[in-house]
Structure 1
Amino acid sequence: MPSHIGELSLPRISPNFVEIRNAIRPYLHDHVFIGLSGGADSLALVAAAAAEGVEVTAVCIDHNLQDGSAAVTDQAAAMARMMGAHAITHQVHIAPGQNMEAAARTARYDAFAQSTDEIWVAHTMDDQAETYLLGGLRGNPAGMKDASRRPPLTIIRPLLGVRRAHTHGACTELGLKPWHDPHNTDDAFRRVAIRSQVIPLLNEITGGDSVPGLALAARRAVDDAEVVDGAVEKRRALWQDGFPVELASEPTGLRRRMLADFLRGHGIAVSSRKIEAVDRLLTDWHGQGGVAVGKSDTGRLEVVRRSGKLKVTD
């Protein structure tokens, strides 16, 4: 084990930091890019990668959402450099709107893509559990993959098996002072409310730690989705010229995934409500008219049933 990373001395005994180093080893290669906010999770990830001896570039994003955000970003970059990593900073601007979290995520990944085609992010097992519950509230319980594509980026999540307590503990062991995002204590954000209210209540109800079970459910949801998505990909050629009505006999879950792929192929944003309405053209057909699924330059986009296929028309 090295005694230093950059200017930072490493302690002889650091069980939390060792937990993180062990977790990232399957993902290591010569040069890794890491999204660094300055919070405990991403600071610990940068430190662990540096301690493993790989070249590290921290990519620090100023979202311009809070007073002093530029100073926070500069401080995160400075801590990365102190640990022997390179650091890049980007400024992004978020358009006003209802879903600030989603808009910030999109802007962040767009900025990452300016520097690399593969980015490590520091989502932990606790984040995985929260994501599963958030998806369930939208009717789509799901989880995060260890590696996923968000073109043109590949996103690597090496800490999905690591608890948030380990990243905070590692920062304490290393003497790092992470930034504490005030948004992470604002229960107006649904994710924060789940973290601060729902999961503690589940722990109380179960008499234990609910996070590992929720994270395991998220992992299984990911695995199941990969199987179905693979089946959809193999059959995609079937609906290049319209969605055949004989596919109505397919299992509901697979059929609806195929319909979602069909719609996306026409550049249509997919929602559960749209899929259910279009699905009725297959499973509850009694001569009804088309289903509105969006707008085009010339008018309203509809899915209609015609000559044994579903077609997108405007």
Structure 2
Amino acid sequence: MFPVERKNRRIMIISFLAASLVLYLCPLLLQQPFAAAQLRRGFYSGVCPEAQHVVRETVRRAMARDPRSAASVMRLQFHDCFVNGCDASLLLDDTPSMLGEKLSLSNINSLRSYEVIDEAKEAVERACPGIVSCADIIIMAARDAVVLSGGPKWEVKLGRKDSLSASQEASDEIMPSPRANASSLVHLFERFNLSITDLVALSGSHSIGMGRCFSIVFRLYNQSGTGRPDPHMDPRYRFKLDQLCPVNGDGNVTGGLDATPTKFDNQYFKDLVRRRGFLNSDQTLYSGDGRTREVVKRFSVNQDAFFTAFVEGMVKLGDLQVQQPGEIRKNCREVNKQSERMDRMRTRF
């Protein structure tokens, strides 16, 4: 055999062995911890430049059908990112071997508009299949819901992967109750390196949306087990809520979280100063802690300051990640089949 032929043969053998090794390692790699994704602005500009436009138009259509969907879509980022990072675990349906997060205490009969993310995902998959994660779609859609409601604009960082599992237990343990007081909220946000200003600004997400009577009846009739209403409530506002949410009434009846529930503005903070916060977890920011009260007062008179702090808080919230395996789901409600995952791994190699 000539030297050149021997050399070519060695190259072929090495290439074959390398390819075999990659195929052997793929299942093992999928079981190993992955480093958290490096998020950046413009992540999809070269591979799916239409992604953000497609998501925004989906949110716009959803809001035209139901104005409440703006607040519902925005809330998905909060409820996803606080539980093991921004990984779309929230969107996974239950399976025989996994209890997902949709039926956790803070989400059941509360979170809505999962179908808006489904619609956005389907549209993005048609434009550029297998590229954009459900986790990133949540982040884009939340931003768009704010912008389309009259709130501030910002450029989101992207590049997240979708988780392979969800945890109802983690959601129950982390997400705050509508009964939460300011001190517990400050402590929760500190766990995620979020400041008091971040807490108050992000609570301003309640500038849009509705709340259920179920979440406030204790404030109206039995605050802290006293058998009396919350003393930190304007009497005229309490009378209005008494009419909306009578004793033994329908807990699913809804009221505006502030006086302008479809417009993203600083009315929420003005209402807190006037003791007209709908939820206890909102009013406590003004009535329950001097640290948060000062920020509420500042935002109530300076909408630009609120908008700036809100954007900063949303970016920080979107940065929350944990090191875990991930993928780009084809369907936001379920993980990809093992065969599909293997095919994508082979394509990368």
Task: Give the TM-score taking structure 2 as reference length.
Answer: 0.24
Flag the structure with more relative contact order, 1 or 2, with Cα contacts below 8 A and sequence separation at least 6.
Answer: 2
Give the TM-score taking structure 1 as reference length.
0.26
Bigger Rg over Cα: 2
Structure with greater strand percent: 1
